[in-house]
């Protein structure tokens, strides 16, 4: 009997152990079935990260972009004034069928802000301003109204194409105006020639850089001459004024009278010689000797400027000025508008379609007015009108 009892106890203990082991196995299985859920949760962020990686790469901006990088957000279509117009104080610009210009004598209080069709018809006075640095962008005109004769400084305004809704944006000694899609950049001549940025309403003025003269903009970079070394040319990226590079260095005897940023080059006149500087290759090439320092513009790989020569008149040496065209591709020079008796000099300003626009002064250099001429040397006319000056202009100084 005792043996049977002992046997029964052993069997019960055995069965109990099996039950506990099975429960542990079940618990283990439960843990194993949970594991795939955890793994599945960890897969989701991994896949998300993989999708984010290309996006992060696309928006990454290099800290030191090369000069020939073009930022799409600042493309030419979103720029109110071209470098060649900035170089010539932006007094003649075009938009669609119309030309917008300052009509009047440079060294007088006369003149108006006008527009006309490119064929010379539909002349309209927009305002009594003497405009310069005219920008056309966002369906509006932005410009500086000169406070004193030929000063190229004054208050900053905006206006509709038809002359309506004229609005003061910035009051002061504004200079070198450049308007982009969402920002206005200008130099305050009364404050150490400081380059400022504001919104299109003139609010939120931010200092960009001090000591800036002859400011131009192209493809994400500002180019300028420093007031501390006026004949050296510098550049810096639009979003980092501290990253300034000196591109062209001159000696104390050098004089750079004009420069224009054109594609990846800087075209400049130094000591009456035309040069080309490659921004990407950091090299300078001489293009032509004997050019005037007074004016220069560029259109479709063609540089329009003054070439001068000396002739003896009544026993005295007199300089004659011709408007010539230097072709950057063909590497040759041709005559565009020859010297005319009675003219002192002609200052190329702007080229549009078949016309070149330029300033003309008399023999004493005291009266300068805007003319235009066909590029085939014919049909010269002056951009003055009795409606503008109040008195009838003489000779060919009539808009057709």
Tell me, yes or no, whether 172 and 55 share the same domain.
no
Please write the tens of the pLDDT for every residue from 79-124: 999 999 999 999 899 998 999 998 876 666 667 899 999 888 898 9
Q: Considering only CA atoms, which of 364, 369, 368, 363 is closest in space to residue 384?
A: 369
Alpha carbon distance 204, 42 (integer Å): 47
Q: Considering only CA atoms, which of 241, 212, 242 is closest in space to residue 229?
A: 212
Please write the tens of the pLDDT for every residue from 247-287: 999 888 889 989 999 999 999 999 989 999 999 999 999 99
pLDDT for position 185: 97
Q: Say if 398 falls within a structural domain.
A: no
**Which of 51-55, 239-243, 342-346, 373-377 comes out lowest in average pLDDT?**
51-55
- Characterize 70-88 residue by residue with b for buried, 16 or more Cβ atoms within 10 angstroms of its Cβ, and e for exposed: eeeebeeeebbbbbbbbbb
Tell me, yes or no, whether 77 and 54 share the same domain.
no
Boundary residue ending a domain (33, 60, 87): 60
Tell me, yes or no, whether 49 and 121 share the same domain.
no
Q: What is the CATH number of the domain that holds 215?
A: 2.130.10.120
- C-beta separation of 258 from 248 below 8 A: no
Average pLDDT over residues 49-75: 33
Tell me, yes or no, whether 45 and 128 share the same domain.
no
Q: Say if 13 falls within a structural domain.
A: no
Tell me, yes or no, whether 54 and 192 share the same domain.
no
Q: Say if 89 falls within a structural domain.
A: yes
Tell me, yes or no, whether 96 and 206 share the same domain.
yes
What is the domain extent for residue 316?
Answer: 72-389
| pLDDT-derived band at 324, boundaries 50, 70, 90 | confident
Give the number of C-alpha atoms closer than 13 A to the C-alpha of residue 43, restricted to the C-beta side: 6
pLDDT for position 310: 67
- C-beta separation of 305 from 337 below 8 A: no
For the chain, the domain total comes to 2
Residue keyed to tokens 């000696």: 251
- C-beta separation of 256 from 225 below 8 A: yes
Average pLDDT over residues 222-228: 95
Q: Say if 322 falls within a structural domain.
A: yes
Q: Say if 16 falls within a structural domain.
A: no
Q: Say if 230 falls within a structural domain.
A: yes
Alpha carbon distance 374, 8 (integer Å): 125
Tell me, yes or no, whether 112 and 56 share the same domain.
no
pLDDT for position 365: 54
Alpha carbon distance 346, 254 (integer Å): 24
Average pLDDT over residues 46-59: 27
The residue ranking higher by pLDDT, 152 or 375, is 152
First to last CA, the chain: 140
| pLDDT-derived band at 16, boundaries 50, 70, 90 | very low
- C-beta separation of 197 from 183 below 8 A: yes
The residue ranking higher by pLDDT, 54 or 204, is 204
Tell me, yes or no, whether 185 and 134 share the same domain.
yes
pLDDT for position 299: 92
Q: Say if 32 falls within a structural domain.
A: yes
Tell me, yes or no, whether 180 and 257 share the same domain.
yes
Alpha carbon distance 304, 324 (integer Å): 6
Boundary residue ending a domain (7, 34, 60): 60
- C-beta separation of 86 from 216 below 8 A: yes
* Contacting residues for 133 by C-beta, under 8 A, at least 6 apart: 81, 86, 89, 90, 143, 144, 152, 175, 176, 177, 178
pLDDT for position 318: 63
Q: Say if 132 falls within a structural domain.
A: yes
pLDDT for position 394: 42
Tell me, yes or no, whether 290 and 332 share the same domain.
yes
pLDDT for position 295: 80
Tell me, yes or no, whether 225 and 116 share the same domain.
yes
Tell me, yes or no, whether 41 and 78 share the same domain.
no
Boundary residue ending a domain (34, 60, 86): 60
Please write the tens of the pLDDT for every residue from 351-361: 888 888 887 77
Please write the tens of the pLDDT for every residue from 295-315: 899 999 999 988 876 666 666
């Amino acid at each position: 009997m005792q043996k049977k009892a002992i046997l029964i106890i052993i069997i019960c203990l055995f069965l109990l152990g099996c039950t506990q082991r099975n429960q542990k196995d079940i618990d283990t299985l439960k843990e194993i079935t949970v594991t795939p859920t955890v793994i599945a949760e960890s897969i989701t962020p991994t896949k998300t990260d993989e999708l984010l990686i290309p996006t992060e790469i696309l928006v990454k901006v290099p800290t030191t972009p090369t000069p020939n990088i073009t930022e799409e957000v600042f493309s030419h279509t979103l720029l109110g004034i071209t470098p060649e117009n900035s170089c010539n104080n932006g007094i003649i610009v075009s938009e669609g069928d119309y030309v917008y210009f300052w009509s009047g004598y440079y060294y007088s209080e006369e003149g108006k802000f006008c527009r006309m069709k490119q064929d010379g018809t539909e002349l309209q006075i927009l305002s009594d301003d003497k405009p310069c640095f005219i920008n056309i962008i966002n369906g509006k005109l932005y410009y500086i109204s000169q406070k004193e004769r030929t000063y190229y400084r004054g208050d900053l305004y905006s206006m509709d194409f038809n002359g309506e809704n004229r609005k003061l944006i910035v009051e002061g000694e504004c200079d070198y105006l450049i308007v982009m899609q969402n920002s206005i950049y200008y130099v305050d001549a009364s404050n150490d020639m400081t380059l400022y940025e504001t919104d299109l309403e003139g609010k939120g003025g931010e200092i960009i850089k001090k000591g800036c003269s002859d400011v131009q903009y192209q493809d994400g970079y500002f180019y300028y001459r420093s007031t501390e070394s006026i004949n050296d040319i510098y550049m810096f990226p639009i979003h980092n004024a501290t990253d300034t590079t000196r591109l062209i260095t001159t000696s104390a005897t050098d004089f750079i009278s004009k420069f224009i940023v054109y594609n990846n080059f800087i075209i400049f006149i130094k000591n009456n010689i035309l040069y080309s500087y490659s921004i990407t290759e950091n090299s300078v090439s001489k293009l032509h000797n004997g050019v005037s320092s007074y004016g220069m513009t560029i259109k479709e790989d063609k540089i329009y400027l003054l070439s001068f020569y000396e002739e003896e008149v009544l026993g005295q040496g007199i300089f004659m000025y011709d408007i010539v065209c230097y072709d950057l591709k063909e590497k040759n020079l041709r005559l565009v508008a020859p010297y005319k008796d009675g003219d002192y000099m002609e200052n190329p300003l702007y080229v549009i379609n078949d016309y070149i626009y330029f300033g003309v002064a008399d023999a004493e250099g005291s009266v300068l007015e805007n003319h235009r001429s066909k590029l085939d040397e014919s049909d010269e006319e002056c951009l003055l009108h009795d409606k503008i000056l109040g008195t009838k202009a003489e000779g060919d100084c009539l808009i057709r």
